[in-house]
């Protein structure tokens, strides 16, 4: 499903902020109801991030959207990866498959960026986001 005009850096930034908030909420949740609510929000944001990344890979205009969203300082894809790597899929079994798919989308974006000559900058961005 194409997201059309939502395929922008600003929209992806909003998704990343919500994703980080959902991860933090899940990590801080106490009790079944709070955990379930946090997990639902997390899964929603994971799916939106994954779809945006996949859509940018299939953008017909010579990877223009991918470059606009993920180029520059390369932090966006790294921020998604770092957020997801904080989670233990074993503790949220319903999310395991979606987390894996989103991480695969991150890897696909990173592979394209590396092919475009950003390998070194991508490694630096990953290290910076992990700090």
Q: What is the residue-wise DSSP string for 34-52?
A: HHHHHHHHHHHHHHHHHHH
- pLDDT given at position 6: 78
What tens digit of pLDDT does each residue of 80-125 get?
A: 999 999 888 777 877 788 999 999 999 999 999 999 888 898 888 8
- Answer yes or no: is pLDDT of 2 > 60: no
- Answer yes or no: is pLDDT of 1 > 50: no
Global pTM reads 0.87
What tens digit of pLDDT does each residue of 15-54 get?
A: 999 999 999 998 898 888 888 898 999 999 999 999 999 9
Question: Which whole number is the average pLDDT over 60-74?
Answer: 84
- The string of DSSP codes covering 43-110 is HHHHHHHHHHHHHHHT-TTTTHHHHHHH-TT-HHHHHHHHHHHTS-GGGSGGGHHHHHHHHHHHHHHH
* 8 three-state secondary structure: coil
The span from the CA of 37 to the CA of 126, in Å, is 29
Nearest to 52 by CA among 23, 14, 87: 14
- pLDDT given at position 43: 93
């Amino acid at each position: 499903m194409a997201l059309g005009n939502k395929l922008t850096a600003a929209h992806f930034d909003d998704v990343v902020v919500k994703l980080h908030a959902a991860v933090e909420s899940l990590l801080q949740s106490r009790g079944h109801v709070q955990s379930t609510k946090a997990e639902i929000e997390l899964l929603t944001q994971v799916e939106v991030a994954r779809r945006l990344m996949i859509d940018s890979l299939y953008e017909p205009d010579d990877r223009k959207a991918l470059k606009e969203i993920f180029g520059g300082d390369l932090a966006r894809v790294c921020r998604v990866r770092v957020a997801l790597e904080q989670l233990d899929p074993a503790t949220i079994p319903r999310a395991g498959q979606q987390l894996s798919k989103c991480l695969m989308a991150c890897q696909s974006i990173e592979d394209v960026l590396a092919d475009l000559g950003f390998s070194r900058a991508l490694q630096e961005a990953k290290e910076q986001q992990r700090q």
